[in-house]
Amino acid sequence: MSPHPLQPLLLHGVHLGQQAEMLTDGLRAMLLDACGYETQVFEFVALEHTQKNKMILAVKRAANAENATVLAQVRDLKSFYGIRDQCLETLLIASGFLKLGTADHAPHSRSH
């Protein structure tokens, strides 16, 4: 088995933490996009006050966009990083915003 391509970048704990934060925030925004929201991720407090300074703003779109591409990207990222469960994804499936198909997510036509 060959080494993970990001291994040299993740030798330092600070980089590993930053990557994990970027991945989780990115997956959350992508999942909200897939549920029909327009999302923005931005810093809202200066870094000297807190390191946890990211906000995800989500505004419901008038019409749901095609989400198959976004859900395929979510699946690929989860596979690449070995993620089996993602909390927001689990909650969205349980609440009916996303449906879990046999091989992938299928959009659910629920209006919110």
Confidence of residue 3 (pLDDT cuts 50, 70, 90): low
Domain boundaries of the chain, sorted by first residue: 7-107
Q: State the Cα–Cα distance between residues 30 and 38, nearest whole angstrom.
A: 10
Confidence of residue 110 (pLDDT cuts 50, 70, 90): very low
pLDDT at res. 17: 83
Of the candidates 77, 74, 76, the one whose C-alpha atom is nearest the C-alpha of residue 31 is: 74
Kindly report, residue by residue over 14-63, the tens digit of the pLDDT: 888 888 889 999 999 999 999 999 999 988 877 677 767 888 999 999 88
Mean pLDDT of all residues belonging to the chain: 82
